[in-house]
Amino acid sequence: MKFEVTILGSSSATPIFNRNPSSQALNINERLYLIDCGEGTQQQMLRYDVKAGRIDHIFISHLHGDHYLGLVGLLSSMHLNGRIKPLHLFCPPRLKEIIDLELECSETTLQFPIHYIFTSNEKAAVILENQDVTVESIPLDHGIPCTGFLFREKKRLRKLIKEKLEGLDIPTEYYSLIKRGSDFTLPDGRTIKNEDLTIDSSEPKTYAYCSDTQFNLDYFNQIRHATLLYHESTFLHNMLDRAIETRHTTALQAGEVALQINAEKLLIGHFSARYKTLTELLEEAQSVFPQTELAIEGRTFLIGDQ
């Protein structure tokens, strides 16, 4: 099962130094989920071969422009390219007002329906569940309503031990039942226990997307043991006062979050436009949590061992 994320934008507030505002494409078992949609996201999708037609779910963390100003353009392009299948949009309630006004002013009627699922930063909630994944909102602390998103794989079926199946003459149509935990009874009446035919699948992996927030213990329990944690790291720690003022996180604090929740790996992003190079931000986070990488645009990161 594929579980990977491609970085489309990693800048905060404004596009600068060839960095674009926040956006990511998450691939879960060949279904694409778009997380945030800053200005220029469509160009980044073209650049990195992310097909808009494969996106049926879009998640917008909050209503600061660097996280959603590319959305109306993307919706318009979907409309012009003939999309008719529904789009599911997970977002703060007032985003619907913005989209409705844009469409009204341009006298545009989309050919496809948008199903809105409104988020709240009052408490965590399951906002999507399908055969591949469960998605929870993560209440964050950013001044205006803002949520992160926790993507949790569904537990996979047990794995067949091919060597054990050889010579048992088990019809292949029984394999799916065995994968689901059933024993098998041979024609001579002997029962073969499931644990003799299968091994358990790996534990489900998680991707925690923590958009704009100040360092706050309130969301730590929900994202504990994340396989991959993306956490905003807008400033170096020598600008902690500015981070507190704007309710953002420093790279050092992002490393502390990853350490305290026992994450397997940390991605840092949402870099301030004041930083032309990102080496210092990476080194600062790694000083606390060595398993840290930069959310470099165009890079695809596997979530867990695959």
Q: Which residues contact 62 (CB under 8 A, 6 or more apart)?
A: 68, 92, 142, 144, 145, 146, 147, 211, 212
What pLDDT, on the 0 to 100 scale, is given for residue 98?
97
The Cα–Cα gap between 93 and 60 comes to: 11
Q: What is the CA radius of gyration of the chain?
A: 22
Please name the amino acid found at residue 76. Answer: S
Tally the C-alpha atoms within 13 A of residue 42's C-alpha that lie toward its C-beta. 11
CATH numbers and ranges of domains, the chain? 3-156+202-302 (3.60.15.10), 159-199 (no CATH)
What pLDDT, on the 0 to 100 scale, is given for residue 174?
64
The whole-number mean pLDDT for each consecutive block of 10 residues of the chain, a chain of 306 residues, reads: 94 88 96 97 97 97 97 97 97 98 96 97 95 96 96 76 66 67 70 67 88 95 97 98 97 98 98 95 98 97 83
From the candidates 66, 100, 200, 212, give the one annotated as an active-site residue.
66
Look up 200 and say whether it is catalytic.
no
Q: Tell me, what DSSP letter sits at residue 189?
A: S
- DSSP for 255-296 reads HHHHHHHT-SEEEEE-B-TT-S--HHHHHHHHTT-SSEEE--
Q: Where are the beta strands (DSSP E) in 130-282?
A: 133-139, 147-153, 159-160, 184-185, 191-192, 198-199, 206-210, 228-232, 265-269
End-to-end CA distance of the chain: 8
The Cα–Cα gap between 105 and 160 comes to: 58
What pLDDT, on the 0 to 100 scale, is given for residue 112?
98
The Cα–Cα gap between 237 and 286 comes to: 13
What pLDDT, on the 0 to 100 scale, is given for residue 97?
98
Q: Tell me, what DSSP letter sits at residue 175?
A: H
